[in-house]
Structure 1
Amino acid sequence: MQLYLQDARKYQYLTAEQELDLAVRWHERQDPSALDKLVGSHLRLVVKLARGYLGYGLPLSDLVAEGNVGVMQAAQKFDPGRGFRFATYASWWVRAAIQEYVLHNWSLVKIGTTAGQKKLFFSLRRLKARMQELESGDLSPEAVEAIATELNVSKAEVVEMNRRLGNDRSLNVGLSEDGDGEWLDLLADEGPNQETTLADAEERRRRQQFLKLGLGVLDDRERRILVARRLRDEPLTLEELSQQFHVSRERVRQLEVRAFEKLQKAVIANARTAQLPAQGSLVSRG
């Protein structure tokens, strides 16, 4: 972090005119030097916003790294012709990136799937402090009702979130106020040994290689359908793909099945060529 902050200080704060000039150069001419100055001058903003999420026990360096992703996304999306300052626009992207990171890494329990639940997650502590509900345990019925009304969520969601936030503890939280050690240091490592880890990594690498080679035998439409249906975290529906490719849902299903069969044959053939067993399907559902 010290090196990061030293690099960040090398960039000067921009005037509105300088910022507009850099944004136009990047937006219209894809000038990499303009992008570097535009993003670099806002690195201190990323650190400032990231510090606001330290209460969740995650390392500042990780929060800053996610914030950097957000500021880069902002630079890609920013339209200088609308008359807004880049810092104002980038702040939204930085906060969104950091919040998504916190939601996925702060707790082993899945927290916050809807917009309301996410807002509840990040606002509950502030509202509890304002209402002087700082003790551990359940909230008073009056506080539950007030928070639910303000955030437009159900009272049950407020109670559940408060209990989760009260019982979950990040493994990165320090053992003492002086910062010596973390809860993570006290956990025994029950994971596989180094040899097993390396062997598993090599096996994954080879399977990914077989999958990549197998996808090469498909035509463009087959590959796009197979990826959309079986290789995405949130697969597209047959209806969505039928509209995208202007064919019926049944035709999409047929193309998916055909592409899957071609891919399986190619993977098995590549595995045999490499004298390695193709253990199961590489693209099975789930």
Structure 2
Amino acid sequence: MAARSNVPATIPALGSEAGLNRYLAEIKKFPILQPEQEFMLAKRFQEHGDTEAAAQLVTSHLRLVAKIAMGYRGYGLPTSELISEGNIGLMQGVKKFEPDRGFRLATYAMWWIRASIQEYILRSWSLVKMGTTAAQKKLFFNLRRMKSRLDAFEDGDLRPEHVTKIATDLGVAETDVVSMNRRMAMGGDTSLNVPMREDGEGQWQDWLQDDAPLQDK
């Protein structure tokens, strides 16, 4: 089997938010692939490194990226940037896709698209590299939905019963729910020195891990 080449950048220029409508209109021109077409293109890329085949796989799924990115608009970041990050995830998905497993590229690439967008949001909100990564990511990306379900949109802290419900459903600590709600209410550019808990102990920067090796003194 030939080694796969990198997926070529065949995506229309997105630019700023002003060009978003033009971009969305442009990507609608790319045809949606039939299952047989998708399989053959994926095999050509997998076995022969055919970059033209990879390009068709990418462009036929740009609408999927845009649709997923639109679902993350509530985090206060430019939609064009969310789409750009999602496109990076799509190209990663195409590169790693194995058509012989029997499922469609959209099903597989969806994970890569969402992961890329979510990592970008976490970086933008200064929440990357948190100590309890899985739990905190789950809380961050589900808190607004849970609040909507509970009609918990009052200003300030959540009601105790809402905190308990959210913490139980998401499997996180109640203190983390309170802290995350405050963090998101203040916006993504809030200082990492803001206290995390009611007792004033602990700061957001304390959640960040330093992965660099210790230096000898």
Q: Which interval holds the TM-score relative to the shorter structure?
A: 0.7 to 0.9
Number of residues of Structure 1 aligned to a counterpart in Structure 2: 176
Mapped pair 1:136 → 2:155: yes
- SS of 2:158's partner is coil
2:154 is aligned with what amino acid? Answer: E
* 8 A Cα contact 1:57 1:170, kept in partner: no
Q: Which residue of 1 aligns with 2:117?
A: 98
| Separation (CA, whole Å) in 1 of partners of 2:134 and 2:172 | 10
> Residue 61 of structure 1: which of 77, 80, 90 is its match?
80
> Residue 29 of structure 1: which of 33, 36, 48 is its match?
48
The equivalences for 1:1-286 within 5 A come to 1-105=20-124, 107=125, 109-110=126-127, 113=130, 114-168=133-187, 234-235=211-212
Residue 66 of structure 1 deviates from its aligned partner by 0.2
Residue 134 of structure 1 deviates from its aligned partner by 1.2
TM-score, length-scaled by structure 2: 0.75
Q: Which residue of 2 aligns with 1:187?
A: none
- SS of 1:153's partner is coil
TM-score, length-scaled by structure 1: 0.58
1:110 is aligned with what amino acid? Answer: L
| Separation (CA, whole Å) in 2 of partners of 1:13 and 1:156 | 46
| Separation (CA, whole Å) in 1 of partners of 2:211 and 2:22 | 38
Deviations 1:82-103 (A, max 9, x none): 1111001111100000000011
* 8 A Cα contact 1:70 1:93, kept in partner: yes
* 8 A Cα contact 2:147 2:153, kept in partner: yes
1:56 is aligned with what amino acid? Answer: Y
* 8 A Cα contact 1:51 1:60, kept in partner: yes
| Separation (CA, whole Å) in 1 of partners of 2:128 and 2:119 | 11
* 8 A Cα contact 1:43 1:68, kept in partner: yes
> Which consecutive residues of structure 1, in runs of 5 or more, have no partner in the other structure?
172-232, 238-283
- SS of 2:136's partner is helix
Distance 1:170 1:53, change over 3 A: farther
Specify which structure has the higher proportion of helix.
1
Residue 8 of structure 1 deviates from its aligned partner by 1.3
Structure 1 or 2, whichever has the larger Rg, is 1
| Separation (CA, whole Å) in 2 of partners of 1:36 and 1:27 | 13
Residue 10 of structure 1 deviates from its aligned partner by 2.3
| Separation (CA, whole Å) in 2 of partners of 1:102 and 1:41 | 25
| Separation (CA, whole Å) in 1 of partners of 2:189 and 2:144 | 16
| Separation (CA, whole Å) in 2 of partners of 1:170 and 1:26 | 42
> Which consecutive residues of structure 2, in runs of 5 or more, have no partner in the other structure?
1-19, 191-209
